[in-house]
Amino acid sequence: MSCRNVWKVYGQKPEQFFDDNNGEVSDATTHADKIRNADHIVASADVSFDVHVGEIFVIMGLSGSGKSTMVRCLSRIVEPTAGEILLDGQDLLSVSQKDLIEYRRHKMGMVFQNFGLMPHLNVLDNVAFPLEVQGIPREERRARAQAMISLVGLEGREASFPRQLSGGQQQRVGIARSLAVEPEMWFLDEPFSALDPLIRRQMQDEFLRLQRELKKSIVFITHDFLEALRIADRMAIMRDGAVVQIGRPVDLILNPVDSYVKEFTNDVPSELVLTARDVADPTRTFATGMGEATAETSLADLLPQLASNEAGVIIRDTFGVELGGVTARDVVRALAGKGQEATS
Amino acid sequence: MTRAQPLIWLGLSALALALFLSAGPLAKFPDSWVLSPTDSMNDAMNGFVAVVGPLFKALGWLLEWPVAAAQMLLQALPWAVTASILILLGYIASGWKLAVFTALSLFYMAVIGYWSESMNTLAIVLISVPMAVGTGFGFGVLGFYSDRARKIIMPMLDLLQTIPAFAYLLPILILFGFGTTVGLVASVMYAFPPMVRNTILGLRAVPEEIIEAGMMSGTTPRQLFWKVRLPAAQRQMLLGVNQTTMAALSMVIIASIIGGTNDIGWEVLQTMRKAQFGESLLAGFVIALIAMALDRISHGFATKTREIEPTGPNIWKVSALIVAAVAILSLVVPGLRVWPETWIWNPAPAMNDALEYVVINYREWIEAIKNSAFFFVMLPIKIGLSNAVSPFTWGFALTPILKAVYAVIIAVPALWALRKGHVTAASLIVLWGVVSYIGLTNMPWLPLYLILVFSAYVTSGRGLAIGAALGLGFLLIAGVWPESVLSLYLCGVAVMVAFTLGTLLGIWASENQTVSYIIRPIMDTLQTMPLFVILIPFVMVFKIGEFTALLAIIAYSIVPAIRYTEHGLRNLPDAVLEAAQTVGCSRWQLLTKVKLPLALPAIMLGLNQTIIYGIGMLVIAALVGTNGLGQQIYIGLGDGDFGVGMTAGIGMAVLAMIADRMTQAVSRRRQEQLGLRFDGV
């Protein structure tokens, strides 16, 4: 899925700001200011990104940054004002309402922050709901829904109603429902934000487990930078409706484009982000008494090994090629340097 | 404006006093200015009826069929079958307690010998509720989807709900002619507005995420409505059905006043007119029981929470089997078909004797209560201290010296307020003193008119002031000003008493759990009770008259005052209360310095409802002999005089709307100041 120059403007006459519908403007920032000065609200400003097949693409931003509007534009629950949204080479913005419904029925699934469960349906019927509206016979849809319920681990709660479930359980229902049609695109709008921290962590693990199994193309919205780091293959940071930076989490931490992105990365414990590769000293070579670790091991995971191997740890890449050695002092120096950088 | 306000109040007081004392021609609205629209209204209505009359007659004829069919069905069904259906409905709606209550209520109806009348009433309700719900749902959906439609529908609803119920009957009576149709049409008209409101409210309250989840599931617009919005809004709409049912029942009862229905409402009226109080109380109690049972059953279905689907047999199927069994049994046992005469027990004569005994033996007490309230409270407000104080009533005459004393009594608090810097309050005290001296009915029309318009301006601004000026102008020109002032007086006194007592009770109930437990069921009963029935006990003791009407109005309108006060005081933000306690507020300080100011918007809404309830009851109270707009409506209805009844009905609606908007505005302004939101009980 690709998103090209997508704009969403609220106000009296939002179309007036765009000559044609593709949303390309020479300077997005000045154009957005112009629109704001005309008493319109810019929720998304010239947003472009690609979601690769099978990857988790996270959109991160604070409240009011336009991230929720953006994910709704992708399925046209919110109608974008201008731009293009390409799915399998087809521009979604040009398809008819009827075709759009077909897209939603077969290609997309969405999970909501406050679950969005139907209060009048029990768990089984909630999960079967997308199948019901397609007109799939009762027995078949119930069987498929049952499979989804097993997938998210809610067996035995099929006859419960949403209000009888805990938040975590309700969101499992939401997840099962969004997967019931076996969509290609999976949208999750702050799915774990309404949950307690402990449950949130569990659900993140669950989510990653599901994704390893299902390999969907995912757009995941969150306001929690650490959550984004945990799950993202790639991520975009949004501010005032515009994308500030797109990249792998580590790119954002090591090379933030501006002070805004850096604000987020400051809070990130470096030992979780920096890997053995980043601190390996190529001048050191293997010696007896050294431990061994792969290049992608985080510094946090490296610490126990350093504690037991005073001589240090030798780092190899996935092919077994030696990249260099790491000692406790190297790690401390790297973390201290990062800290100094952050305080300066 | 606030600077000039005290001066304007003083000016109006002076004007009133001057016009009153001069007793000149300016005190009374000139007869030649009265346009008396009643004749032209009657002509217009006659012309209208002449053209469309046959159409409505035909429609009325059509509508009579379903009612007749329902009545025939309920009369033909063995009582045991009807009873078991209703009892099982009660059980399904909320459990065995309600089933027992329903059973006892039905048993009472049968034993007292009002089964067939009750079934006639139920039959009309049975037909009118689905019609009202359907109509209300249709308009509600229209109003939900179209802003423009809503802008037309909402004021119409306001109008339908503020015009007194009696006033509806008249045009319907003229259009459709005598018959059960009048009750049916009137109850549909009266009962559909709450359904519209609840439909719109329910559909709007569906969380955005649920709608989005529905859309993402790939619903078509039609599916989105029927499978997502509607079921998600179901609960609110069922509450609408509950309110609609209650409104329909109360209107069916009121409509029985035109007669020809042989239902339970007619029975109450008949017996009340014949002064057979035992009978009327017994019949009135039937109405109250029907109302309570219907209310609880429909409310039970509305608030029923879905549990995990039971694995046992379907309750509906079991119920159907039970009903079938009872039906077969009643074929064999004749006593289950028609309630046998010998099982009927009529305690009415005994009750009448007992009442007579009480009234005769405690006559002095009753007279004393009645007279002191009448002479010392009602008369002074009605005709002013200047007229009310006489040797016959107060035991002394109002000599010039006493007048001076009165002036001092008013002047002292006014001056004290002035010293404290409360200039507006001082001017209002003076105004109060002048009005009490003159009396409402003796107030010259111009200052009274200006006082009302200016109050509207002060409380809610220019829009309402213009509306009030026009509406009150209509009352003057239509020649119903004196009647309106009488209504204002009676309602005003009742509201003052009800609001004061109600607020105090509400405060007490909010501080004391036991009190709350005791008064809650009493309030529930008063609210579900059809208005007629409330009159009965007061008429029994105090006979017909203004005082009886006053008591009935107070009894009915005190409920919202209590409710809103208690609710407002009990639902304050915890953080604020805890903060106040932490800084060391005593219980009294907490109440007076924190709770009451914060609960003021809720209390003001209570006042609003007290006024609306009071006006609603005012019309009914006309039955026991009051003068004023209520009586005019009643006269119009009795004579089939469209113009008279309609003018009075519109007059009442004008008063109700002005009072409503004024109190709403005060409450809203206060809510905004506090940053609180309060929607209702």
- With beta carbons less than 8 A apart as the criterion, state whether B487 and B630 touch: yes
- Between B587 and B28, the more confident residue is B587
Lowest-confidence segment of A115-124, A172-181, B373-382 by average pLDDT = B373-382
Distance between CA atoms of B281 and B278, rounded to whole angstroms?
5
**If you measure CA to CA, which chain A residue comes closest to B227?**
A133
Could you give the percent of chain A with pLDDT greater than 90? 47
Give tens-digit pLDDT for A54-105: 999 999 999 889 899 999 999 999 999 999 999 988 899 889 999 999 999 9
- Of A21-30, A306-315, B474-483, B571-580, which range is least confident? A21-30
- On whether ipTM exceeds 0.90, the answer is no
Which pLDDT value is given to residue A86? Answer: 92
pLDDT single digits (tens) B493-514: 999 999 999 999 999 999 988 9
pLDDT(A17) > 90: no
pLDDT at A111 exceeding the cut of 90: yes
What is the pLDDT at residue B313? 72
Task: Decide if A116 and B220 are in contact by the 8 Å CB cutoff.
Answer: no
Cβ atoms B483, B632 nearer than 8 A:
yes
B544 touches chain A (CB under 8 A): no
- Closest CA in chain B for residue A129: B217
Scanning A109-128 for CB atoms below 8 A from B yields 109-110, 112-122
For residue A336, the tally of other CB atoms under 10 A from its CB is 11
State mean pLDDT over B57-72: 87
pTM of the shown model: 0.78
The answer to whether residues A73 and A80 touch, using CB atoms and an 8 Å cutoff, is yes
Mean pLDDT of A30-57: 91
Q: Work out the minimum CA distance from A295 to partner chain B, whole angstroms.
A: 42
Residue listed under structure tokens 């890997």: A275
Chain B residues touching A129 at Cβ < 8 A: 214, 217, 227
Which residues in chain A have Cβ-Cβ distances shorter than 8 Å to B202? none
| Residues A41, A12 contacting (CB under 8 angstroms) | no
CA distance B529 to chain A (A): 33
Given an 8 Å threshold on Cβ–Cβ distance, is A121 in contact with B215? no
* Strand residue runs (E) in B459-598: none
Task: Measure the CA–CA gap between A254 and A245, rounded to whole angstroms.
Answer: 13
pLDDT at residue number B260: 65
Q: How far is CA B142 from CA B206, B232, B235, in A?
A: 16, 18, 19
Q: Tell me the CATH number for domain B40-305+315-358.
A: 1.10.3720.10
Q: Compute the average pLDDT of residues B199-217.
A: 92
**A117·B210 Cβ contact <8 A:** yes
Nearest by Cα to B282 from B267, B296, B297, B298: B267
Of A75, A118, A122, the CB nearest to B210: A118
In a mutagenesis test of the B interface, which of A68, A73, A112 is the best target, namely the one with the most B β-carbons within 10 Å? A112
Kindly list the residues from chain B whose CB atom is less than 8 angstroms away from the CB atom of residue A120. 231-232, 234, 306
Domains of chain A, with CATH numbers? 51-107+183-266 (3.40.50.300), 270-343 (3.90.1280.20)
Residue range B451-466: average pLDDT? 88
The fold of the B478-681 domain, in CATH, is: MetI-like fold (1.10.3720)
Convert the pLDDT of each residue in B299-329 to its tens digit.
888 877 666 555 567 788 888 888 888 888 8
Nearest to B562 by CA among B603, B511, B521: B603
Q: Which amino acid is at B468?
A: A
Query: Across the interface, which of B210, B215, B309 has its CB nearest the CB of A77?
Result: B215
Domains B40-305+315-358 and B478-681 agree in fold: yes
Q: Which of A219-228, B140-149, B261-270, B484-493 has the lowest mean pLDDT?
A: B261-270
Amino acid, res. A64? G
Determine the distance in angstroms separating the CA of A34 from the nearest CA of chain B, rounded to an integer. Answer: 30
Average pLDDT over residues B337-359: 82
Pairing of strands A90-91, A322-326: unpaired
For residue A203, the distance in angstroms to the closest alpha carbon of chain B comes to 20
Q: Is it the case that residue B32 has pLDDT exceeding 90?
A: no
Is the CB of B216 less than 8 angstroms away from the CB of A122?
Answer: no
Residue B270 has pLDDT above 90, yes or no: no
Contacts of B225 in chain A (CB under 8 A): none
Interface check B303 vs A, CB under 8 A: no
Chain A contact present for B212, CB below 8 A: yes
Q: Counting one residue from A and one from B, how many pairs have CB atoms under 8 Å apart?
A: 82
Of A120, A132, A134, the CB nearest to B231: A120
- CB-nearest to B216 from A77, A119, A159 is A77
Chain A nearest-CA residue for B228: A118
Residue type, B121: T
- The CB-side HSE value for B489 (13 A sphere, CA atoms) comes to 30
Separation CA A194–CA A176 (nearest Å): 17
pLDDT at A342: 44
Average the pLDDT over each of A51-60, B105-114, B179-188 and give the range with the smallest value.
Answer: B179-188
Query: Any chain A CB within 8 A of the CB of B452?
Result: no
Higher pLDDT, B44 or A242: A242
Residue B462 at interface with chain A, using a CB cutoff of 8 Å: no
What is the CB neighbour count within 10 angstroms for residue A305?
Answer: 18
User: What does DSSP say about strands A185-189 and A108-111: parallel, antiparallel, or unpaired?
Assistant: parallel
Beta strands across the sheet bearing A90-91: A41-50, A2-10, A82-87, A90-91
Residues of B in contact with A174 (CB under 8 A): 213
DSSP per-residue letters across B416-475 = HHHHTT-HHHHHHHHHHHHHHHH-TTTS-HHHHHHHHHHHHHHHH-HHHHHHHHHHHHHH
Contact present, A314 and A292 (Cβ < 8 Å): yes
Query: What residues of chain A lie within 8 A of the CB of B209, using their CB?
Result: 112-116
Half-sphere exposure of B380 (CA within 13 A, CB side): 17
- Determine the Cα–Cα distance for residues B234 and B83; give it in Å rounded to an integer: 28
Closest Cβ opposite residue B231 in set A77, A118, A134? A118
Domain boundaries of chain B, sorted by first residue: 1-33+362-475, 40-305+315-358, 478-681
> Quick one: three-class SS letters along B636-667?
HHHHCCHHHHHHHHHHHHHHHHHHHHHHHHHH
Residue of A nearest to B304 (CA): A120
- Strand A291-294, strand A313-316: pairing: parallel
Q: Would the CA dihedral through B191, B193, B196, B197 be positive or negative?
A: negative
Q: Which long-range contacts (CB under 8 A, 24 or more apart) does B430-436 make?
A: B430/B9, B430/B10, B430/B13, B431/B9, B431/B10, B431/B12, B431/B13, B433/B13, B433/B406, B433/B407, B433/B409, B434/B13, B434/B16, B434/B17, B435/B13, B435/B16, B436/B380, B436/B381, B436/B384, B436/B385
**Structure token pair of residue B287:** 């109405």
Contacts of B307 in chain A (CB under 8 A): 161
Residue of B nearest to A160 (CA): B308
Q: Are strands A217-222 and A56-60 parallel, antiparallel or unpaired?
A: parallel
The answer to whether the Cβ–Cβ distance between B223 and A116 falls below 8 Å is no
User: Chain B residue with minimal CA distance to A72?
Assistant: B212
The Cβ of residue B306 has, within 10 Å, a number of other Cβ atoms equal to 13
Nearest chain B residue to A74, by CA: B216
pLDDT of B615 above 80 = yes
Q: CB distance from A181 to chain B under 8 Å?
A: yes
| Centroid of chain to Cα A92 | 21
**Residue A306 neighbours by CB under 8 Å, 6+ apart:** A291, A312, A313, A326, A327, A328, A331
Q: Is B219 within 8 Å of chain A by CB?
A: yes
Contacts of A108 in chain B (CB under 8 A): 216
Question: Taking CB atoms and an 8 Å limit, are B215 and A116 in contact across chains?
Answer: no
Report the gap between the CA of B154 and the closest CA in chain A (Å).
25
B518-542 per-residue burial string, b: 16 or more CB within 10 A, e: under 16: ebeeebeebebbbbbbbbbbbbbbb
Distance from CA of B219 to the nearest CA of A (A): 6
Query: pLDDT category, B640, cuts 50, 70, 90?
Result: confident
The chain-wide mean pLDDT, for chain B, equals 85
Cβ(A123)–Cβ(A154) below 8 Å: yes
From the list B209, B223, B306, the residue facing A116 with the nearest CB is B209
Query: Are A185 and A220 within 8 A, CB to CB?
Result: no
CA-angle at A138, arms to A133 and A144, nearest 5°: 85
Q: CA of A98: which chain B residue's CA is closest?
A: B220
Q: Does B210 sit within 8 Å of A75, measured CB to CB?
A: no
Q: If DSSP codes are grouped into helix, strand and coil, which group holds residue A90?
A: strand
Nearest CA in chain A to B215: A77
Q: Are A338 and A270 in contact (CB under 8 A)?
A: yes
Asked if B309 is an interface residue toward chain A (Cβ–Cβ < 8 A), one would say yes
Work out the pLDDT band at A344, boundaries 50, 70, 90.
very low
Q: What is the pLDDT of residue A343?
A: 44
Q: A122 to chain B: which residues are within 8 Å by CB? A: 306, 308-309
